[in-house]
Structure 1
């Protein structure tokens, strides 16, 4: 690859899991990259789209274990860009939706590095859709609240969520990265007066061939998730829209576009 005189960083949203859900612009930028820093939830198929000579660096984070701390990831982005490289920071979902892309963008700006943020399809919307759950519906919910299930205080983590306030808000609530916190926040919502029979679902590895969907109620979702061994990555969706899952799942379970094209060609 020809090295440019001035480095540049693309902060790319890889989408919710299905490699075909990356944007055209995101894929084009990924293919141009000389260095790729990628997260744990990025589909392996996307890395195969990179140039064969591109340097691939895993910087993924798992619950209770980070391969690199955030400031170390920022430093790598700056390092390779200052070497004149085209750098792709490939992140699951959207870079600015609980992806810490905003922190990386600020670090690049402070370092005087040129960059572009390429939005991705957030799992907060795509994963419920893949399970037959529209996050809004005129008859069920006219508002959508997206929160993180990581509640650690202090340091560089997000502040604790006021679950009691969310329970009174209504509409649809989507909780990302909240498998371990599921018993705690559902209990807090119940204690705040939310109807125990409010439909709820937890979806593991959404939009992929390994997707698992558990539909229950606010009162029972935590216990059922434990009994069925639901693990990360998964998101929780709470609200009346979940009641549509059984009706609309049959639509989302149709053959993929690729399958349809293959069947027409045969």
Structure 2
């Protein structure tokens, strides 16, 4: 039976796929001295008691885990197979050395992409001695999981035309790269304490929600608090955007910690 736990969400990264600032950019955000405008690729770790579950491990994974001082993990949940969400997969090696096979959770399509890109991690024969190993579990939006007393519900969202997974941990939902959400999946998002979702930029985008679309989702779902992530430098300066948001909506930033009682 799921029990009420105090959840802690640590934002490991809050940027879109290029990071913020983007290489070679002339956008004014690049020259900001506000550390909240320096963003690694989007990922979070959700913790309770001594449990840590990471959602996605992009190209900044090693730096993020060192910065957040995450010495142990209980597993990794993947949202989808794009490079900014899986390109740090090999960096799980130190966790493998300590804990053995690392539990990972994804849908079948994402697991196939991981197996292709990181075949040496999944192979059973002639393994490279220092290669990590994993214990994969295939999940779908129809599953309900329970990790150490916390209910986990996968949520199918649409990343443009690509179906991907978000996750609800208790009363916290993490939806990255979302553009639209099927009505049946929105039913799973009622009664949230915290909603974390995408707000890429102010202008419309084919595969990611804009700021106005993210605000409309908050208005529809009515979480007690909302945090926007997967942000492009085109959204603007953190300090300016925060002034435009409702009092219960916040712009997330790297190393932000949010607790939910």
Pick the structure with more helix per residue.
1
TM surpasses 0.5? no
Pick the structure with more strand per residue.
2
Taking structure 2 as the reference length, what is the TM-score of the superposition? 0.29
Larger radius of gyration, structure 1 or 2? 1
Taking structure 1 as the reference length, what is the TM-score of the superposition? 0.29
